[in-house]
Amino acid sequence: MKRVVIILSLLPLFCMTVGCTKLSRREAKHQIDEALKVTPRGSKKIPMRGYLPGFKIDEDGVYSINNFRLGTDKTFANDVIWAPLDNALEKTGYITINVLKRPGTNRYGLGEGEQIVALTEKGRNAGFECYGDSRLQCNLPPLIEAQENAYEITGISQDEVRAKVNILIPWKLTPLAIELKPYASTHGTYEEYWEKALLYHAESGKSPTTILFQKFDDGWRIVDENGKSEKDVN
């Protein structure tokens, strides 16, 4: 009996020296939660998250690559607004589109004109990122909001020194996306990126992702595919 007690008491020391400790869900969650905290980091103490590679949902669903332009552009006065995104943003009240007719016709027999696109007050408050000089290029804000702090660990696969932690990240459509969703449609051979995000995503859901861990002499750390941790990049 005494021999059993001695062996059990020495087990933690044995595991520290030969490395037999496994990554538990509790420890994985603790490290993920710590990395998700926004704290002052680096020499300039800039508020930012910790090192959490792989913690994202499908980028096509999070951000729309599509954009639109403010200002004046040549168009055909009797054309329907040809850009699906411009059309959707106008119908939902984020932009205004005015077409100024000019006399004469082009080689297609259509009267030429100028299309003037401007943000409304609703659009100015919506968080569009616009840049440029005479004609501003504007990007859509995120269409899907990841609720990252509500993630769920679904399983851990590991050996003695490496571990893969599978998680599910809840997400939901942003108010902008919900307004634009009725105007997303297929166009035969392709859809624009914002339309793909809205055509193939419900108003809410969960997306799987994987976070990698590696065991060092001071314990388990979150790493990237090359085995680098926050201590390596800072």
Report the alpha-carbon distance of residue 10 to residue 17 in Å, rounded.
11
pLDDT per residue, tens digit, the chain (234 aa), is 555 444 445 444 444 444 558 999 999 999 999 999 988 877 888 888 888 888 876 554 444 556 778 877 665 544 444 578 888 999 999 999 887 766 555 554 555 667 788 899 999 999 888 876 655 788 888 888 888 889 999 999 999 999 999 999 999 999 999 999 999 987 656 678 888 888 888 999 998 999 999 999 999 999 998 888 888 766
Q: Report how far apart, in Å, the C-alpha atoms of 43 and of each of 40, 46, 51, 231 are.
A: 9, 8, 16, 14
The answer to whether 142 and 57 have CB atoms below 8 angstroms apart is no
Report the alpha-carbon distance of residue 73 to residue 231 in Å, rounded.
50
Cα–Cα–Cα angle for 192, 195, 200, rounded to 5 degrees: 125
**pLDDT of 17:** 46
**pLDDT of 20:** 58
**pLDDT of 1:** 54
Sheet with 129-131, strands from edge to edge, namely 67-69, 137-139, 129-131
**pLDDT of 41:** 77
**pLDDT of 66:** 67
Structure-token pair, residue 27? 């420890």
* 152 backbone dihedrals φ, ψ, rounded to 5°: -130, 125
The answer to whether 44 and 86 have CB atoms below 8 angstroms apart is no
**pLDDT of 104:** 54
* 203 backbone dihedrals φ, ψ, rounded to 5°: -70, -20
Report the alpha-carbon distance of residue 32 to residue 43 in Å, rounded.
23
**Please, what sign has the CA dihedral across residues 40, 46, 51, 57?**
positive
**pLDDT of 6:** 45
